[in-house]
């Protein structure tokens, strides 16, 4: 009992230490603030958005930013601020789900290939190469179309496209890690391949997986948006950032506010994830932690 | 005579590289007896580590291959057993300590997690009990403040501490044979002495046999019961420590011992064995030592000498010696 309590206390101390490190790192704070804001907007959208995002009001169509509609309105007179806020829900959900699925599967596949080597590596990585040889958007389109156009299928399609990116990177890392002596030591003390892959290889690849995940979050959100644009992702009238940009594109010359605000939100989200991920890597790397 | 724990018979290991086949080990014979510390000496690149890794089948394949031979552990052939049985033997019955304490521990986990994991797996105990065992083992390797060490990351420990942690980890599974592959090479001399005395004390106390690999004759003399000398992938002499140092038989062993600088002798120039270790892709024919040997004679460059017993417990592979009672068959074999 005493041990468990001690362990718990220790975990809390470790967490406080992490928070302290985080607060000392300016880019981490900036990234964290941006992402926290996005998450807050996404979670709170139904309560803080001033209007219903899908309520049409044709009399107010394409009105410029004003105190009434801070970000203006679109061609149906819907409030763009409210739509952008609700869009955060969708885009963040897509990003997180896709990266979670692709990251875990990709890391597992890459680690298995890298560690086992030989034929297993050859077969697995050639399959990954086949997937990589398609432009990601085209393959995602084909998959989404085959599965049927809706948001969940779009998520699966984008995740599938992202798997080889993780697999390839983790495989490379695994090749380096498996030559380390602690792997030989683990084998010498009777560890099996699966144990080594999941207890030694993958944890050692973690920091680069986090970096890649943050980088790909942006791409993921963009691909998902593109799918929505051609009607294979979020279905209208769902407020999705990418779909909004795509539709708003033709209004850019005269009604600049229509595609600009969703675009700014995508930009902010992607930058936020990138700098946060970068800072997190530094903070969680045990070699520079203390 | 104590029973034989590990018996290596005519073991040959080859590495298939683009430059050719490296004959890293050629018909090596070796036995580790129960409870003894057997030293294995030789120059860099003579195959000591390959031998150590072959025992646990840790040779990377490709490029390495155990070409021929048998390795018996308590009567079981390690080279023929299922990988499942082998995994059971690894760690439970045979443990290994590596040369580089810096990289033997996984850098992303705490020392305690790694040790506990091993103990829980091998001794089938819960995490609390495993922790107790770890603390106890760390205390036995004279680690200061074992409780704190458990929650540290490997990079926070010094080389000596890491190596002691490795010894503690390997011995916590209560193996019968410990293979120590130059465990002190990366450490400085004072730490080296400390680690060696801990290793000796613990293995003697727990009655663990040790295959101790080193290129340091001083360490071997101090620690081991018997010594095997390797040269270019072959065992050239096996004897008790006393016999080997007082009466070395093989010209190579003699050269090695002569090359040790001594404090009680004033010598301007260090004695050396002329020449270098041959490459193992095209090793010299016959006795692999003959191009550097001072006593080279007629059959040396053609016939490979076998290990023969020249005195009780003293084996030499050299044409200078004949087994008592048995005729030299070099010419007939040729």
Return mean pLDDT, chain B: 82
pLDDT of B282 strictly over 90: no
Instruction: Return the residue of B nearest to A284 by Cα.
Output: B108
Q: Binning pLDDT at 50, 70 and 90, where does residue B325 land?
A: very low
Instruction: Return the residue of B nearest to A181 by Cα.
Output: B104
Contact B106 A189 (CB under 8 A): no
pLDDT of B311 strictly over 70: yes
Whether A34 is in a domain gets the answer: no
CA distances from A172 to A175, A209, A211, A275, B167 (A): 5, 12, 15, 24, 31
Whether A33 is in a domain gets the answer: no
pLDDT of residue B332: 40
Return mean pLDDT, chain A: 84
CB-closest option in B95, B122, B151 to A188: B95
Predicted TM-score (pTM) above 0.80: no
pLDDT of A281 strictly over 80: no
Radius of gyration, alpha carbons of chain B: 21
Cα–Cα dist A184/A182, whole Å: 5
Q: What is the CATH number of the domain that holds A59?
A: 1.10.3720.10
Looking at chain B, the number of H-run helices and the number of E-run strands are: 11, 12
Would you give the distance in Å from CA A183 to the centre of its chain? 31
Whether A10 is in a domain gets the answer: no
- Mean per-residue pLDDT, A100-121: 91
Three-state secondary structure readout of chain B = CCCEEEEEEEEEEEEEECCEEEEEEEEEEEEEECCCEEEEECCCCCCHHHHHHHHCCCCCCCCEEEEEEEEEECCEECCCCCHHHHHHHHHHCEEEECCCCCCCCCCCCCHHHHHHHHHHHHHCCCHHHHHHHHHHHHHHCCCCCHHHHHCCCHHHCCHHHHHHHHHHHHHHCCCCEEEEECCCCCCCHHHHHHHHHHHHHHHHHHCCEEEEEECCHHHHHHHCCEEEEEECCEEEEEEEHHHHHHCCCCHHHHHHHHCCCCCCCCCCCCCCCCCCCCCCCCCCCCCCCHHHCCCCCHHHHCCCCCCEEEECCEEECCCCCCCCCCCCCHHHHC
**Hey, what are B3's tokens?**
């029973």
**Hey, what are B57's tokens?**
């089948």
pLDDT of residue B326: 47
Contact A181 B173 (CB under 8 A): no
Residues B237, B244: contact at Cβ < 8 Å? yes
Contact B96 A181 (CB under 8 A): no
- Residue B211, sorted as left (phi over 0), alpha (psi -120 to 50) or beta, turns out to be beta
Complex prediction ipTM: 0.71
For residues B258 and A141, the model is more confident at A141
Contact A190 B166 (CB under 8 A): no
Cβ–Cβ contact B130 with A under 8 A: no
Chain A residue numbers with beta carbons less than 8 Å from the beta carbon of B118 are 189
pLDDT of residue A224: 84
How many other β-carbons are positioned within 10 Å of the β-carbon of residue A215? 16
**Hey, what are B11's tokens?**
């073991």
Strands B4-17 vs B64-73: parallel, antiparallel or unpaired = antiparallel
Whether A95 is in a domain gets the answer: yes
- Sorted by sequence, the CB contacts under 8 Å of residue A27 that are 6+ apart come out as A275, A278, A279
Contact B108 A204 (CB under 8 A): yes
Radius of gyration, alpha carbons of chain A: 22
Whether A21 is in a domain gets the answer: no
Q: Binning pLDDT at 50, 70 and 90, where does residue A107 land?
A: very high
Contact A189 B91 (CB under 8 A): yes
Q: What are phi and psi of A222, to 5 degrees?
A: -65, -45
Whether A103 is in a domain gets the answer: yes
Q: How many domains does chain A have?
A: 1
Cα–Cα dist B84/B65, whole Å: 20
pLDDT of residue B333: 41
pLDDT of residue B95: 87
A289 burial type by CB count under 10 A (0-12 exposed, 13-18 middle, 19+ buried): middle
pLDDT of residue A159: 93
pLDDT of residue B330: 44
Residues in chain B: 334
pLDDT of B61 strictly over 60: yes
pLDDT of residue B329: 45
Instruction: Return the residue of B nearest to A7 by Cα.
Output: B151
**Hey, what are A184's tokens?**
């030989």
Max avg pLDDT among A133-147, A248-262, B194-208: A133-147
- Mean per-residue pLDDT, A189-212: 84
pLDDT of A191 strictly over 70: yes
Contact B107 A199 (CB under 8 A): no
Cα–Cα dist B4/B79, whole Å: 17
Cα–Cα dist B254/B276, whole Å: 16
Contact A191 B87 (CB under 8 A): yes
Closest CA to B317 of B84, A63, A160, B293: B293
Cα–Cα dist A229/A247, whole Å: 7
- pLDDT tens-digit series, residues B148-164: 888 888 888 888 888 88
- Domains, chain B, in order of start with CATH, read 4-93+175-333 (3.40.50.300), 105-174 (no CATH)
For residues A258 and A287, the model is more confident at A258
CB-closest option in A184, A185, A286 to B153: A286
- Mean per-residue pLDDT, A52-76: 82
Q: In this predicted structure, which of A49-63, A87-101, B39-53, B204-218 has the lowest mean pLDDT?
A: A49-63
Cα–Cα dist A91/A225, whole Å: 8
pLDDT of residue A165: 92
- Mean per-residue pLDDT, A172-179: 87
pLDDT of residue B331: 43
- Sorted by sequence, the CB contacts under 8 Å of residue A250 that are 6+ apart come out as none
pLDDT of residue A102: 93
pLDDT of A22 strictly over 80: no
CB-closest option in B108, B118, B128 to A286: B108
Whether A143 is in a domain gets the answer: yes
Contact A3 B56 (CB under 8 A): no
Q: Binning pLDDT at 50, 70 and 90, where does residue A127 land?
A: very high
Whether A58 is in a domain gets the answer: yes
Residues A195, A187: contact at Cβ < 8 Å? no
pLDDT of B134 strictly over 80: yes
pLDDT of A7 strictly over 80: no
> E strands, chain B, where?
4-17, 20-33, 37-41, 64-73, 76-77, 94-97, 177-181, 209-214, 226-231, 234-240, 308-311, 314-316
Cβ–Cβ contact A189 with B under 8 A: yes
- Mean per-residue pLDDT, B75-101: 84
CB-closest option in B103, B153, B155 to A180: B103
Q: For residue A220, give its domain range.
A: 46-289
pLDDT of residue A286: 61
């Amino acid at each position: 009992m005493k041990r468990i309590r001690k362990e718990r206390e220790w975990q809390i101390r470790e967490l406080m230490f992490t928070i302290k490190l985080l607060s000392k790192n300016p880019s981490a704070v900036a990234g964290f603030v941006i992402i926290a804001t996005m998450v807050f907007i996404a979670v709170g959208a139904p309560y803080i958005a001033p209007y219903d995002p899908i309520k049409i009001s044709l009399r107010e169509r394409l009105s410029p930013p004003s105190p009434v509609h801070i970000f203006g309105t679109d061609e149906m007179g819907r409030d763009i601020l409210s739509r952008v806020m609700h869009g955060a829900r969708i885009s963040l959900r897509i990003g997180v789900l896709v990266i979670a699925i692709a990251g875990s599967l990709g890391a597992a596949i890459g680690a298995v290939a890298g560690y086992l080597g030989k034929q297993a590596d050859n077969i697995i990585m050639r399959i990954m190469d086949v997937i990589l040889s398609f432009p990601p958007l085209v393959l995602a389109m084909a998959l989404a179309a085959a599965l049927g156009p809706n948001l969940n299928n779009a998520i699966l399609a984008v995740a599938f496209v992202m798997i080889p990116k993780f697999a390839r990177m983790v495989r490379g890392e695994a090749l380096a890690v498996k030559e380390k002596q602690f792997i030989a030591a683990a084998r010498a003390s009777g560890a099996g391949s699966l144990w080594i892959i999941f207890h030694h290889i993958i944890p050692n690849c973690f920091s680069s997986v986090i970096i890649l995940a943050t980088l790909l979050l942006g791409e993921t959100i963009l691909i998902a948006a593109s799918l929505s644009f051609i009607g294979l992702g979020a279905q209208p009238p769902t407020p999705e950032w990418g779909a909004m940009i795509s539709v708003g594109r033709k209004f850019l010359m005269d009604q600049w506010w229509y595609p600009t605000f969703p675009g700014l939100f995508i930009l902010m989200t992607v930058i936020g994830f990138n700098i946060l991920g970068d800072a997190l890597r530094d903070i969680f790397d045990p070699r520079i932690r203390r | 005579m104590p029973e034989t724990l590990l018996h290596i018979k005519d073991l040959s290991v080859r590495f298939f590289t683009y430059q050719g086949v490296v004959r890293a080990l050629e018909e090596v014979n070796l036995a580790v007896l129960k409870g003894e510390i057997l030293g294995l000496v030789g120059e860099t690149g003579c195959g000591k580590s390959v031998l150590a890794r072959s025992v646990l089948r840790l040779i990377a394949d490709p490029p390495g291959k155990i070409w021929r031979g048998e390795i018996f552990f308590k009567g079981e052939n390690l080279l023929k057993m299922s990988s499942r049985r082998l995994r059971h033997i690894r760690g439970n019955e045979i443990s290994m300590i590596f040369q580089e304490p810096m990289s033997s521990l996984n850098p992303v986990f705490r020392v305690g997690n790694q040790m506990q994991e091993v103990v829980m797996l091998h001794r089938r105990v819960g995490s609390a009990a495993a922790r107790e065992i770890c603390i106890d083992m760390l205390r036995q390797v004279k680690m200061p403040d074992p409780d704190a060490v458990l929650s540290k990351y490997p990079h926070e420990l010094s080389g000596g501490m890491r190596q002691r942690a490795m010894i503690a980890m390997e011995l916590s599974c209560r193996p019968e044979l410990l293979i120590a592959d130059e465990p002190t090479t990366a450490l400085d001399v004072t730490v080296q002495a400390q680690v060696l005395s801990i290793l000796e004390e613990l293995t003697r106390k727990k009655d663990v046999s040790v295959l101790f690999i080193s290129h340091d004759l001083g360490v071997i003399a101090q620690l081991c019961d018997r010594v095997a000398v390797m040269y270019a992938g072959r065992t050239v002499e096996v004897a008790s420590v006393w016999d080997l140092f007082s009466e070395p038989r093989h010209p190579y062993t003699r050269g090695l011992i002569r090359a040790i600088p001594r404090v009680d002798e004033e010598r301007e120039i260090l004695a050396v064995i002329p020449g270098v270790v041959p490459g193992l892709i095209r090793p010299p024919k016959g006795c692999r030592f003959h191009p550097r040997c001072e006593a080279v004679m007629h059959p040396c460059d053609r016939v490979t000498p076998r290990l023969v017993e020249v005195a009780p417990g003293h084996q030499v592979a050299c044409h200078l010696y004949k087994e008592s009672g048995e005729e030299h068959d070099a010419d007939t074999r040729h």
